[in-house]
Amino acid sequence: MNEPNLKAGMMNTDEIHRRNLEDILKTVRNAKRVYRDQGAEAILRQPELMPFLIEYLYSSDQKHSIKSAWVLELVCLFEIRLLLPYLLEFTSRLNTLEQESAIRPISKICSLICQHCDKHPCESEVQVSSWKNNIVEASFEWLTGQHKTAAQVFAMESLFILGRESDWILDELYSILDMHYPNKSSGYQSRARKIMDKISKVKRKKT
């Protein structure tokens, strides 16, 4: 087969994957768990759709973006390792997400990634540095911006894990939590207290 035909074949395969993914997303009628589970299970059966799910997450089509976030969250809960080959692609545009319905599940995924890679180090140092920096930047934005409590809780969890390797992250995180604590919800305050206690313990161990 000559080169043009090879390229055409590859494009056709990508289009088939996109159509398959769109069919899956159509079955996710709303945020009910049953529909999100169905979508996630379909992706687990077709892991080759993962890069396209990330592509749709950052789509300008809000419905595609939000549904992709819902599905990806459950995929990662079931099998986080499916996302690992695509960490750079997943994290490179976190700050472009605007819909709160997408930010909450994506902030949770970031927390899951940090937890997993804290226990199972992987990838080259350059790759690790890149996706970690992306998560740090996005998490600070979610934590300090006008976002829902759930997203902010996941953000502080990610920052604590990553901050154990960088003192400035823990210092900034503690300062933000301390400043915003009095005006936040009981859920935020409960998690913030735990994170601030953990930061203090880390600091004491280093002195």
The helix (H) or strand (E) run that includes residue 24 is: helix 3-27
Mean pLDDT, residues 29-33: 95
Tokens of 194: 């735990």
Last residue of a domain, one of 82, 111, 127: 82
pTM of the model: 0.91
> Which distant-in-sequence residues (6+ apart) come within 8 Å of 202 by Cβ?
164, 170
8 domain-assigned: yes
% of the chain exceeding 90 in pLDDT: 86
pLDDT band (50, 70, 90) for residue 8: very low
Split into its structural domains, the chain has a count of 2
Q: What is the pLDDT of residue 1?
A: 44
Give residue 38's Cα distance to chain centre. 20
For all residues of the chain together, what is the average pLDDT?
Answer: 92
Whether the CA torsion 121, 125, 130, 134 is positive or negative: it is: positive
Q: What is the pLDDT of residue 205?
A: 87
CA angle 174, 153, 71 (to 5 degrees): 145
Considering the domain architecture, whether residues 75 and 162 belong to the same structural domain is answered as no
* Cβ proximity of 110 and 154 under 8 Å: yes
Structural domain containing residue 78:
1-82
Question: What confidence tens digit (pLDDT) does each residue in 169-190 have?
Answer: 999 999 999 999 999 999 999 9
Nearest CA to 77 out of 33, 127, 133 is that of 33
Q: What is the pLDDT of residue 194?
A: 97
Question: What confidence tens digit (pLDDT) does each residue in 84-132 have?
Answer: 999 999 999 999 999 999 999 999 999 999 999 999 876 655 567 899 9
92 domain-assigned: no
DSSP per position, 139-191: HHHHHHSS--HHHHHHHHHHHHHHHTT-HHHHHHHHHHHHHHGGGS-HHHHHH
